[in-house]
Amino acid sequence: MQVTETLNEGLKRAYQMMLTAQELDDKVNAKLAEAQPEIEMKGFRKGKVPMPLLKKQFGQRLLGEAMQEAIDEAMGAHFESTGDKPAAQPKIEMKNGEEWKEGDDVEVEMSYEALPEIPEVDLKSISLEKMVVKADDAGVEEALGNLAETAQDFKARRKGSKAKDGDQVVMDFVGKVDGEAFEGGSAEDFPLVLGSNQFIPGFEEQLVGVKAEEEKDVTVTFPEEYQAEHLAGKEAVFSCTIKEVKEPVAAEVNDELAQKFGAEDLDALKGQISERLEAEYAGAARALMKRALLDELDKMVSFELPPSLVEAEAGQIAHQLWHDDNPDVQGHDHGEIEPTDEHKTLAERRVRLGLLLAELGQKAEVEVTDAEMTQAIMNQARQYPGQEREFFEFVQQNAQMQQQMRAPIFEDKVIDYVFELAQVSEKEVAKADLEKALESLEDE
């Protein structure tokens, strides 16, 4: 196939590829010859069907396949000889497609944007500061207090006290629709925390103010979409007998609390909390150091960017920020969102750093392992309780989804690789200093 360059401006490339009728015919004949030994046809022994008859029978349907193979081979040879790497899938257009007929040459135009040459970066010259925060007694005690609140218990209020939102009401109740008790609508000694939204809307609010030994009828209407169809949309009356009204109390911070959370005693729980806090601080410090690294890399490199990548990234940024400001609008149910100059500037930074990190990772032979991908899929699958297996299978069958999940893992591994080469100094700071630095990062 003859290939002629028609455009070479910046990163834009275009080529005209000519596949002669004879080359196409030879490819079809080669395919028929390859298949001939296995073809059976009435009146002929297996493998003995004459080529002219095979061509008449199957030649037409092999034309498209042969044409595509020839184009793919020409593209592969072109990229191997030029060293070009397309920024996206090349655009292929058959110039004489509407007029083409069997026996004509095939004229194809291939166009693409080439990835730029990425300049070398002296990673060892980069200086970074890593904030180190130690877990202090105040932080551990604050975390213990939060745990005690989550492990709260309830104690009986003084006799005659009215139930408040957040209190626990222990009661017997019988629910009736049209005067008839229904299955699942009754219970004894049922503990209900008011405000927990455990019952259907309107139920718990009507129990605010009740007292122990009081009887109260609660009238509610089941939602139209209620799972039990025979109750959906129906009005029900629950006759409630209040046995106790209890107020919430935080659990005591002692060995018993520690054992509730799987620790041997209080000291062991404090140790676990201290480790968890320092891991959280380290994660926040890494995020700050990563941002500082990306800022440094952005200053160190400059190269031409594929316009299509910048345009696509700017569009995604504009779309995401618009949805952040309009959270009630789902999907693409809105007009066109035009990227601003600010969006384009941010897009240029992201594309530039993305290409640089990809180049660094390739040269360092950074790879995402199957085990890392499996762990990432499992972590995300937990967001879909009861559908973990379906999510796992969906990802396995969706190459685009796999790439979306692989990309951040790859980037973090490249970042860690650069951290190892850069000059990193540690600075011990207070938790407040770390938090202030994070707030500054979020405000940018």
**pLDDT at position 444 over 70:** no
CB 260 within 8 A of CB 251: yes
SS3 21: helix
Three-class secondary structure of residue 272 per DSSP: helix
**Tokens in use for 24?**
């196409």
For the chain, percent helix, then strand, then coil, each to nearest 5?
50, 20, 30
- How big is the chain by its Cα radius of gyration, in Å? 34
Least confident of 17-21, 235-239, 350-354, 363-367: 17-21
- Annotate 183-217 with b (16+ C-beta within 10 A) or e (fewer): eebeeeeeebbbeeeebeeebbebbeebebebebe
Q: Tell me the HSE value of 341 on the side-chain side, using a 13 A CA sphere.
A: 0
List of E strands, 214-303: 215-221, 235-249
Average pLDDT over residues 238-255: 92
**What domains are defined for the chain?**
2-113 (3.30.70.1050), 153-249 (3.10.50.40), 281-443 (1.10.3120.10)
**Residue 234 CA from chain centroid, whole number:** 41
CA–CA separation, 7 and 228 (whole Å): 67
Q: pLDDT for 90-131, tens place per residue?
A: 999 988 767 787 788 888 899 999 999 999 999 999 999 999
122-165: pLDDT as tens digits: 999 999 999 999 999 999 999 998 888 888 889 999 999 999 99
CA 440-442-444 angle, 5° bins: 75
- d(CA 313, CA 34) in angstroms, rounded, equals 46
User: For residue 432, what are the contacts with CB-CB under 8 A and spacing of at least 6?
Assistant: none
pTM of the model: 0.71
Burial class of residue 313, CB neighbours in 10 A (0-12, 13-18, 19+): buried
Strand order in the sheet with 12-19: 2-9, 12-19, 106-113, 91-94
Q: Which residue has the tokens 């834009």?
A: 12
What is the residue whose two structure tokens read 């850069």?
A: 422
The alpha carbon dihedral of 136, 142, 145, 149 has a sign of negative
Stated as kind and residue range, the H or E segment containing 314 is helix 307-325
Per-residue pLDDT reduced to its tens digit, 27-53:
888 888 887 887 777 877 787 877 788
